[in-house]
Structure 1
């Protein structure tokens, strides 16, 4: 081993730079705003390009993990040596104490530079490579890893390592969406609200929308969270009220003793944990100022004060941006999924449990009171609580699956954000929309019911569409009496059915039977309008045809060939890397490094 390290130390290091494409998206990966990531994607070529800047003049790293675990992680390590030469290579995590360099190198270095305080590394790779040690880049929420050390001796596990959940398949920036030249802002927020010393609080109040003389469009919203309460605010929803509604004053529990504070159910805008500002596409906005538009809204702020902190005062809410520069279409939001309470349940101790809620649009026109045009769905927000692991929204027409409209198979409760579709999807009258939610409750010993607390569960998808109609929600739930009977419990109605579910002894067999039964029984579908008109319907759960994965693209080079470009490992020891064998092909590599030396001389660098 010592001879090999000596050979590397005398190796000619090649360096070079490629043209880096324009990178539209960016984010800080750490709370101190020191590690900065820029990226962009080429969907036609299935290629993702990254640029990482870290506050280090030593090694830096970036990649992907399974839930913050080093085991199975996929990342690159690079840096600039004191003599100006560079090193860069593709690695993977073997276990929580061991990382190894990939034999198949699937990341392409574009640029590696360093100044007195930081290192900047730009590189690219295909969404799906042909290397089993690489993780796919998908339209799911991905867990990214960034790390760096103080020098070029790579002691990975002693470096600073940060993790962040990101959705990389963003479609556009606010600059690309062409903000209007004239706009106004308006805040919908609580005013000095004393947060109760309680684990769950839903605070509601009614606020008028901006008064304008002519039609305007709301085109953007952003959260306004009281800084001290950032970890307490779970979600903020704004519901449009029918103009004939008699609304209460003050602030009260949304779903408490006074049912008036639960009035108004058509979502206008919404924010949840991890989300940021959201600008609607250029072709649509929320209409205000006409006789048909709502004049008042219900503001709902959900607090999760699990630490029972006293004396908190809150002024959180949402800021609306509106403009007289009108867009072509008025937009609406349709709430879909599983009817929340009290029918929804998830058994304890399960690695995977599926819940389903179906929306049948056949009666939309009847309940809307006017013809319902095709709904052009352009965006969505998915929502579960802490047990949620994945969601899929599927569109059916004439009994056949049209498309998986929205999905996140790696859902993270701490990153709930509005996302745009790559292409608008048309939902026609008579279509069905199914939402599937996957849960994991290995850490729970009791049933989890649907409900308002973060420790309860939800299964929701908010679909952003145009042109607007009066339908506010369309949600389903299984015939719970039938489910209880199939699980060996006596029940004569839905209430007894839910009580009977509590009596089931849960094991692998009963969990599988409950999931199968919930999928196969009839669904009750509840449709509601902005004016609180309710219509019950029926439906059933259709099978889901999985999306075909992208074909893998192999641009990899054997490790030794890549060393003709970049030194992969600067003066390391197995102890420093935390691995038993950082050079699995010792003899072959010595020979190939000799060819690398000759190639560097002949090329004079890249």
Structure 2
């Protein structure tokens, strides 16, 4: 009992301090913000320093109780980390780096890697600001990466630190968004043009692809489209899954009206070069200041195909929709005309994912050696500045990898924590150069533990896709470059006798799917010869073949060294550490309701030492 009382006393000494003011004081502006719950009770601001690898959060909650913010896993909060704080009734503050032992139980980390920058409470809000490294050396702290991050926020109605699932929320956020819209130029002469389907009666089917052909703005001289955003109606549920705008070749003969994009009339699937795209969870996107979509010259498309994917899973009747894309364009020209290159696995049933798979990898190869021949003119080096990732419900991760002369150069883009409900156009930290002759490989990671039958590649949301759209300049005529495995080889490796691709697709249904056969299928799909399909804006198609190269994983970055706590085995060498960087905030300007940081760290270190001593003597 004496030991318990001593621990409690030391904890209060270390983390509770007399109030030194009621304001956060003069603190740097945090550029990004988001509500984290449906009722808009929890508001998060954040910013980061890519060089120092430190992120700063400010959590504001409508409560007089404790608040918490952290990072958690895809399927469970158990093991998630949570930085918690509260202003106690006597004006002192509590602040601690903790983790969830189970859904309801928090436990303090062996080390404290979050730095308190401010903690206040007024008549409406409790506000907590703190910083933490992207990656600490504490195994209880989940990494902040360039992937989708599942942000966990929780709060209480009083200062009793107890988890309540009704006041805990998880939201997927792309935290390390390197370009903020406020940093971009907003032309004063901006013109708005809407591309939309009006009063469309959504069929009562699970999946509908509605397409129509619309003219681009008629202008007397060259203009640049510099921004786009979705135009969506509120249906009280997510009905619109994605919207794509495809450029049409000026020699194309286009149908009129609205019809199924991939139905009986093949004319409604014409035009395959994506200009812009939006998917569920995305918002508006503005191109970099030196890039735009060219319109108004003889070389530019005059018509587009607008494709809207509806997911009416509840088969609701009588739903009318007016949705589309709003484009902003200007006569103030940018330096470069942009294009979009579609990569991945060709979307049709040769692409399959077995049922009950904990993990299954699919690959789509692109060989650029024929780009110049198909373009009809020399192809300058492609400068990639952004990307959009796309799978359906079983997708868990994607990446695009670049090779030159048989050697892996880099991972162009990736998301190891992909969320179907957060698909947005993202900027790269720096431009990536692709030269003619390079190979580009897309790898998609799927999980189908909740499915009892095969999942095939296809347009429906319950089918699958494996696509990455690269935004680049200068524009060329290549619209897509995608691959798929030789299904005859795959079927043979799975013990099925087939003589053509159709038989191969049918034979996959005969396989008894076990963990062993799933791995065998994955290996066969990777080792099979890839059929590569390249397509231009004028629907010219060229085929080639290739083999899937190996992917060398990108090593994890160094963790930030701090005193105490358990060190991961991979971090034991000096190369695994880096010096703790300065936080984004100016500690001299922040007025904190807490002890100075040095006192906090001393108290926390003393607590860790005492706890270890008592455990040794127990």
Contact 1:364 1:429 in 2 (8 A): yes
Question: In 2, Cα distance between the equivalents of 1:271 and 1:384?
Answer: 13
For residues 508-527 of structure 1, the aligned pairs below 5 Å read 508-527=515-534
Question: In 2, Cα distance between the equivalents of 1:208 and 1:554?
Answer: 58
Q: Would you say 1:357 and 2:364 are equivalent positions?
A: yes
Q: Would you say 1:488 and 2:495 are equivalent positions?
A: yes
What is the aligned partner in structure 1 of residue 462 from structure 2? 455
Alpha-carbon distance, 1:564 to partner? 3.8
Distance 1:553 1:90, change over 3 A: same
What is the aligned partner in structure 1 of residue 441 from structure 2? 434
Q: Secondary structure at the match of 1:228?
A: coil
What is the aligned partner in structure 2 of residue 224 from structure 1? 231
TM-score, length-scaled by structure 1: 0.91
Alpha-carbon distance, 1:9 to partner? 9.9
Contact 1:358 1:435 in 2 (8 A): yes
1:537-556 residue CA offsets vs partner (Å, 9 max, x unmatched) = 11111011111111111235
Alpha-carbon distance, 1:24 to partner? 1.4
Question: In 2, Cα distance between the equivalents of 1:476 and 1:501?
Answer: 19
Question: In 2, Cα distance between the equivalents of 1:19 and 1:561?
Answer: 17
Alpha-carbon distance, 1:191 to partner? 0.6
Question: In 1, Cα distance between the equivalents of 2:414 and 2:25?
Answer: 35
Deviates more, 1:5-14 or 1:225-234: 5-14
Question: In 2, Cα distance between the equivalents of 1:567 and 1:303?
Answer: 57
Alpha-carbon distance, 1:132 to partner? 0.8
Q: Secondary structure at the match of 2:600?
A: coil
Q: Secondary structure at the match of 2:371?
A: helix
Question: In 2, Cα distance between the equivalents of 1:584 and 1:70?
Answer: 29
Q: Secondary structure at the match of 1:316?
A: strand
What is the aligned partner in structure 1 of residue 396 from structure 2? 389
Q: Would you say 1:23 and 2:58 are equivalent positions?
A: no
Distance 1:568 1:207, change over 3 A: farther
Question: In 1, Cα distance between the equivalents of 2:554 and 2:57?
Answer: 26
Question: In 2, Cα distance between the equivalents of 1:9 and 1:82?
Answer: 17
Q: Secondary structure at the match of 1:356?
A: strand
Q: Would you say 1:477 and 2:477 are equivalent positions?
A: no
What is the aligned partner in structure 2 of residue 604 from structure 1? none
Alpha-carbon distance, 1:462 to partner? 0.3
Q: Would you say 1:112 and 2:119 are equivalent positions?
A: yes
1:327-353 residue CA offsets vs partner (Å, 9 max, x unmatched) = 000000000000010210001111000
Structure 2 gaps of 5+ residues are 567-594
Structure 1 gaps of 5+ residues are 570-581, 591-606
Question: In 2, Cα distance between the equivalents of 1:178 and 1:556?
Answer: 44
Question: In 1, Cα distance between the equivalents of 2:42 and 2:330?
Answer: 36
Distance 1:510 1:444, change over 3 A: same
Q: Would you say 1:102 and 2:109 are equivalent positions?
A: yes
Contact 2:111 2:608 in 1 (8 A): no
Distance 1:52 1:522, change over 3 A: same
What is the aligned partner in structure 1 of residue 185 from structure 2? 178
Contact 1:14 1:566 in 2 (8 A): no
Question: Given the alignment, which residue of 276, 280, 284 partners 1:269?
Answer: 276
Question: Given the alignment, which residue of 515, 529, 534 partners 2:536?
Answer: 529
Alpha-carbon distance, 1:266 to partner? 0.4
1:252-286 residue CA offsets vs partner (Å, 9 max, x unmatched) = 00000011100000001000110000000111000
Distance 1:563 1:116, change over 3 A: farther
Alpha-carbon distance, 1:490 to partner? 1.4
1:273-324 residue CA offsets vs partner (Å, 9 max, x unmatched) = 1000000011100001111100110000001111111110000111001111
Question: In 1, Cα distance between the equivalents of 2:207 and 2:236?
Answer: 14
Question: Given the alignment, which residue of 403, 407, 424 partners 1:417?
Answer: 424
Q: Would you say 1:212 and 2:216 are equivalent positions?
A: no
What is the aligned partner in structure 1 of residue 196 from structure 2? 189
Please, what is the CA RMSD of the aligned residues?
A: 2.4
Question: Given the alignment, which residue of 233, 257, 267 partners 1:260?
Answer: 267
Question: In 1, Cα distance between the equivalents of 2:238 and 2:89?
Answer: 43
Contact 2:156 2:164 in 1 (8 A): no
Question: In 1, Cα distance between the equivalents of 2:302 and 2:149?
Answer: 40
* Count of residue pairs brought into register by the alignment: 578
Distance 1:586 1:9, change over 3 A: closer
Question: Given the alignment, which residue of 147, 151, 163 partners 1:140?
Answer: 147
Contact 1:393 1:406 in 2 (8 A): yes
Q: Secondary structure at the match of 1:210?
A: coil
Question: In 2, Cα distance between the equivalents of 1:36 and 1:68?
Answer: 23
Alpha-carbon distance, 1:3 to partner? 4.2
Question: In 2, Cα distance between the equivalents of 1:526 and 1:191?
Answer: 34
Question: In 1, Cα distance between the equivalents of 2:485 and 2:613?
Answer: 62
